[in-house]
Amino acid sequence: MFQEICAECDCGPCICSYQDLNSYIIGKAGNEFIGIKNLDYENNCFVSTALQALFNTTAFSMILCEECEVNDLCIICLLKKLNEEIIRSKAEKIPMIDFKEYRQNLIRICGEKNFAEGVEGDCFETIELIMTYMHFASKGVFFINEGIINQECEGDCHSHYVCYNLLAEQKSCNCPAKNSTTLSSSFIIRLNSNDFFRPVSSSLINTFTITLNKSLHMKYEKSDMKNYIGSFSEIIQKHLTYDQILDDICEYCKSTYRRSLFLKSSPKIMIFQLDWESKTPKLLNILQVLISLQGIISMSKIFKGDNPIEMGLKGLIVYLNNHYVYFGIGQDSLWYRVDDNLCQTIGLGRWYDVLLLILLTKSIPIGLFYEDSHVSDLSLYKIELLYLEKTVYTSEKNNSNEAGTLENEYKDSINPSSFLCKSTGEIDCINCSEKKQIGQVCSVCQFDPNENDWVCQKCNKINEGMILMCDYCDDVRFKIPINTLDCSCGMQLNFKYCKKCDALTKCQKCKKSICVVQSAFCVKCKKNCRDGYCDGCKTYDMLCRSCRD
């Protein structure tokens, strides 16, 4: 992920050649995207952003290469012409195109209501409208009544071939004859951003905000954000009530009904719209949404059934100060910001740089574009995750909703590992606090940062890699062959953590103190809750591993 290590600052990416965060995050101009001119009075950003997002998907670009009926009122012909000009501009290295003629043609084809000169429209309504007019144009229909969207189709038209979400809602009980199925279709799946949020305790916020950057790597086990990684599919499931038990009871078999949702179509791209209740959401909530995103999503993990389709994230639409901007992955696998005529890499093009820019500018992610057969790398180093987490917690503690620390500590922001690898490449071991080389086994306590699950030497039970004390017998993972450590509470211990001072909670069954380096399980749903709080059941009542099993 990092570039070649710089000899002067002894880390990569190089941080010594930047004077501030803005000069870094602007990135470099590239030829992956061609800008669309947007003068102050034109207000083209809503339609240009929608088109940039669609054109950046392979499936949409490919259908514009197919034959269609030539007609002055055909939106497919218009988009073909625009796509050809973009391709020609790339070849001739022309940085942007004039959109005035295209917008006038959109008015002529789709009407004044949505594309009148100077009108600022809605980006997602524009996508729905474009797809609808493409549907009719591919069937030779060019005069359409306003307000008609999401026409039913067998998937044989241009728009439904590319982006068609045919959902089957099945209501079933133990009587097969009484099962019922309802079909619905859409080009865009709408999600509520509230489904991604969860509260964070004030003690956790305080722990992170008082931690020095050089010691931040030692807080990974207390991190709440790590629990969001890869949770996007699970959150969509809950939003769509994927396998919900209803209150209704069948009058014949007396069993409760179950609601299931199946994807009956095979879309090439999938568009998600995120609805936000607040126009100025907290940075904490924005980061919770972004960390949950997955580079690849599988339809079989979102919908009922065994749909084999997998899709990768291709781009985001963000909203900032009444303005739409597209963040997309170019053919060189780098992230770009496409903001009207501005088309530049975001920093070095890393996913981490995208998160930096969004937090710095307080942009709101409102649209996600996934594409079939595409793979995206949304991985973060642990220290990058912890640094962003500390940033939003600082904002939360100060009640400022500003990511000022990103600019104040711009070198740490560009490369959070810089405060770990200066000169010596040494850090404090997370287990015994002795000096060790980054990524290497500690020579004092034998802690291996790359180890996954481990077997307790005392009880032979298997434990998860991220905990340092056996969940079953309380034996420590690594014995430190040095003098016994003393805790300020008076308790003696031969490992770094004090079971008394760092206890998250007490097991509701055996009353044993559960330490922060062990697993805590909700007494109701038995889910692993590493911060001692279950968001689903809204309870702090926990069980230890032994009592849960």
3-state helix/strand/coil string of 458-482: CCCCEECCCCCECCCCCCECCCCCC
Q: Find which of 8-17, 177-186, 205-214, 459-468 is predicted with most confidence, using mean pLDDT.
A: 205-214
Note whether 404 and 534 are same-domain residues.
Answer: no
Q: What is the pLDDT of residue 142?
A: 75
Give the residue from 198, 196, 195 showing the smallest Cα distance to 538. Answer: 198
The DSSP-derived string for 183-216 is EEEESEEEEEGGGG-----HHHHHHHHTS-GGGG
The answer to whether 529 and 502 are in contact (CB under 8 A) is no
- Does position 1 have pLDDT exceeding 50, yes or no? no
Note whether 300 and 437 are same-domain residues.
Answer: no
**Rounded to an integer, what distance in angstroms lies between the CA atom of residue 442 and that of residue 429?**
7
CA end-to-end span of the chain, whole Å?
40
Report the number of distinct structural domains present in the chain: 4
Show the tokens assigned to 505: 């909670």
Peptide bond into 365 cis (omega under 30): no
4 found inside a domain: no
**Rounded to an integer, what distance in angstroms lies between the CA atom of residue 404 and that of residue 406?**
5
**pLDDT class of 4 with cuts at 50, 70, 90:** very low
**Rounded to an integer, what distance in angstroms lies between the CA atom of residue 168 and that of residue 334?**
37
Give the residue from 384, 416, 348 showing the smallest Cα distance to 3. Answer: 348
Q: What is the pLDDT of residue 494?
A: 53
**Rounded to an integer, what distance in angstroms lies between the CA atom of residue 396 and that of residue 289?**
16
121 found inside a domain: yes
**Rounded to an integer, what distance in angstroms lies between the CA atom of residue 374 and that of residue 290?**
19
- Does position 185 have pLDDT exceeding 60, yes or no? yes
DSSP state of 49: H
**Rounded to an integer, what distance in angstroms lies between the CA atom of residue 50 and that of residue 372?**
19
**pLDDT class of 119 with cuts at 50, 70, 90:** confident
Domain encompassing residue 527 = 502-549
Give the residue from 182, 183, 185, 184 showing the smallest Cα distance to 159. Answer: 185
73-83: b (≥16 Cβ within 10 Å) or e: bbbbbbbbebb
Note whether 183 and 218 are same-domain residues.
Answer: yes
Which of 359, 393, 418 is the endpoint of a domain? 418
Residue that the structure tokens 């359409």 belong to? 144
381 found inside a domain: yes
154 found inside a domain: yes
Per the prediction, the chain carries an average pLDDT of: 83
Residues 240-288 pLDDT 10s? 765 555 666 776 676 776 777 888 888 899 999 999 999 999 999 999 9
Note whether 212 and 241 are same-domain residues.
Answer: yes
Note whether 363 and 477 are same-domain residues.
Answer: no
Give the residue from 438, 442, 440, 468 showing the smallest Cα distance to 456. Answer: 468
The DSSP-derived string for 331-388 is TTS-EEEEETTEEEESTTS-HHHHHHHHHHHT-EEEEEEEEET--------HHHHHHH
Note whether 493 and 529 are same-domain residues.
Answer: no
The answer to whether 500 and 513 are in contact (CB under 8 A) is yes
Which of 144, 162, 180 is the endpoint of a domain? 162
Show the tokens assigned to 208: 């992170």
Contacts of 433 (CB under 8 A, 6+ apart): 496
9 found inside a domain: no
Note whether 337 and 268 are same-domain residues.
Answer: yes
Show the tokens assigned to 476: 């420590």
Residues 477-524 pLDDT 10s? 776 654 556 666 666 665 566 766 767 888 999 988 888 778 889 999
Which of 106, 138, 162 is the endpoint of a domain? 162
Note whether 174 and 148 are same-domain residues.
Answer: no
DSSP state of 396: H
**Rounded to an integer, what distance in angstroms lies between the CA atom of residue 164 and that of residue 267?**
5
**Rounded to an integer, what distance in angstroms lies between the CA atom of residue 392 and that of residue 287?**
8
Biggest CA pair distance of the chain: 85
Q: Choose between 210 and 144: higher pLDDT.
A: 210
- Does position 330 have pLDDT exceeding 80, yes or no? yes
Note whether 247 and 225 are same-domain residues.
Answer: yes
Residues 82-107 pLDDT 10s? 999 999 999 898 889 999 999 999 99
* Angular region, 251: left φ>0, alpha ψ -120 to 50, beta rest: alpha
16 found inside a domain: no
5 found inside a domain: no
The DSSP-derived string for 217-256 is GGGGGG-SGGGGTT-HHHHHHHHTTTEEEEEEE-TTT-PE
Note whether 131 and 168 are same-domain residues.
Answer: no
Note whether 154 and 292 are same-domain residues.
Answer: no
Residue type, 459: C
12 found inside a domain: no
Percent of the chain topping pLDDT 90? 33
3-state helix/strand/coil string of 134-163: HHHHHCCCCCCCCCCCCCCCCCCCHHHHHC
Q: Choose between 141 and 208: higher pLDDT.
A: 208
Note whether 185 and 300 are same-domain residues.
Answer: yes
